[in-house]
Amino acid sequence: MSIENVISSAIVRTFSEKFLNHLQVDVAIVGGGPSAMVAARDLAAAGAKVAVFERKLAPGGGTWGGGMLFNEVVVQSDATNILDDFGIRYLPIDGAEGYFTLDSVEMASALIYGAVHAGAKIFNAMSVEDIIFKEGKVGGLVINWTPVERLGMHVDPLTVVSKCVLDGTGHPSEIMNLAVNKAHIALNTPTGKILGEKPMWVDSGEASTVENTQEYFPGLFACGMSANNVMGGYRMGPIFGGMLMSGRKAAKLILENLGK
Ligand code: 48F
């Protein structure tokens, strides 16, 4: 066999095995942002079978660019235990006790590595375009390659069956929008609909991101900015403690739901 054939065969075979093995999972996570990466790591570390579907080539969501492309972010002391779990370093901010700066590239890469090493599988360049909704129950995701989505190619998708779905799609809450507008699901919000993100109020947004991380319909959870958008929380900009704590809370709630 030629080396060219060895390489191509190995890639097709191992990818196919990985993909086949994750067409049915405990938890299907949409989006590879910081809250989702923490959730994926905690869930996988607790023994759940987890697949993450990320539209872009690189997971990490809004982490990489720091604040306005200055590639540093801020985390508060409530969340430094999560940074420690991933081996991410941070420095105190002079005159602001309990707040730390960290390199956003280190954070993004460590979150991804931590999730994958704990056993979560990340499928990048795959977009979630719909949910499975059968007999009143959310049963998984409908996926397609991002280039297919971007080019508007008329190609049918494939599906991933899961016990729980976690919407980690950030500001647009894409899965919750599908749930409301396509499946006509009444979410666990005051109106049953998506309340919409409010403008910036850092401390309120940080707290509400964690509070709003919950199950919004049986088997359907939201974390990070998606949760805040669903429940009408404020935005907070480049402080990330709330995102990390949201991911940890989402994993805890889902594990309870799975009986793990
Ligand atoms: O927005 P994002 O980083 O998620 P997050 O965990 O974190 C928010 C912060 O980055 C920042 C902030 C912090 O203060 O406000 O915004 O809530 O990442 C969301 C990821 O989901 C992917 C998207 O490409 C991004 O990487 N995504 C969104 N919709 C889909 C998707 C979809 N339909 N299918 C697959 N991936």
Q: Which of 52, 53, 55 to mutate for ligand 1's pocket (most ligand atoms within 8 Å of CB)? A: 55
Q: What is the pLDDT of residue 168?
A: 99
Question: Is 17 within a domain?
Answer: no
pTM score? 0.98
In a domain, 238, yes or no: yes
Mean pLDDT of 212-233: 98
pLDDT tens digits along 68-121: 999 999 999 999 999 999 999 999 999 999 999 999 999 999 999 999 999 999
Element (H or E) spanning 216, and its range?
strand 214-217
Q: Is the CB of 237 under 6 A from ligand 1?
A: yes
**204 in a structural domain:** yes
Residue 234 within a domain = yes
From the alpha carbon of 31, which atom of ligand 1 is closest?
21
Q: Report the mean per-residue pLDDT for the chain.
A: 98
Domain enclosing residue 211, as ranges: 23-258
| Ligand 1 pocket, residue 224 CB under 6 Å | yes
What total number of domains does the chain contain?
Answer: 1
Residue 16 lies in a domain: no
Residue 101 lies in a domain: yes
- Check which CATH number belongs to the domain holding 196 and give it: 3.50.50.60
Around Cβ 136, how many Cβ atoms within 10 Å? Answer: 9
Whole-number pLDDT of residue 104? 98
Residue 1 binned pLDDT confidence (cut-offs 50, 70, 90): confident
Q: CA-to-CA distance for 240 and 66, rounded, in angstroms?
A: 10
238 Cα–ligand 1 center, Å: 13
Q: What is the pLDDT of residues 141-195, one digit of tens each?
A: 999 999 999 999 999 999 999 999 999 999 999 999 999 999 999 999 999 999 9
The share of the chain scoring above pLDDT 70, in percent, equals: 100
In-domain check, residue 106 = yes
In the predicted structure, residue 251 carries a pLDDT above the cut 90:
yes
8 C-alpha to ligand 1 centroid (Å): 32
From residue 193, alpha-carbon distances to 85, 89, 230 in Å are 35, 39, 8
Q: 9 lies in a domain? A: no
